[in-house]
Amino acid sequence: MPKFITYIALLFFGINSAFADVPKVSAQPNPASNTLNIQVANCDLNTIKIRVFTVLGSEVNALDLRQLDNKGNFVLNVNQIPDGIYLLTIQSGKDQVTKRIKIQH
């Protein structure tokens, strides 16, 4: 096998293993009008922090967030949040994932 291909293979597999412990997050529906269903996998649910920020960086306070089960399913009530684009951040330990969400009533 040529050295160039070997290096590419090592780089590719090294990147995948580096991100193996990063939480995997899905948020639906997007845009959300009443509730946002959040599924989180590949992290310790006991240390998880879910926060919502405006695009200007201000944290949205007093979120109505409920954990539905011990499998990483959460529901966020967005009725009191004004229409707009927000950043949903999920932090577990030192790892953090950010998703862009849209709220449209």
pTM: 0.78
Per-residue pLDDT in tens (0 to 9) along the chain, 105 residues: 444 444 454 445 544 445 556 678 999 999 999 999 999 998 888 888 999 999 999 999 988 999 999 889 999 999 999 999 999 999 988 889 999 999 999
- CATH 2.60.40.10 for domain 22-103, yes or no, is yes
Taking the C-alpha atoms of residue 30 and residue 71, their distance in angstroms, rounded to an integer, is: 21
Domain ranges of the chain: 22-103
Q: Are 50 and 36 in contact (CB under 8 A)?
A: no
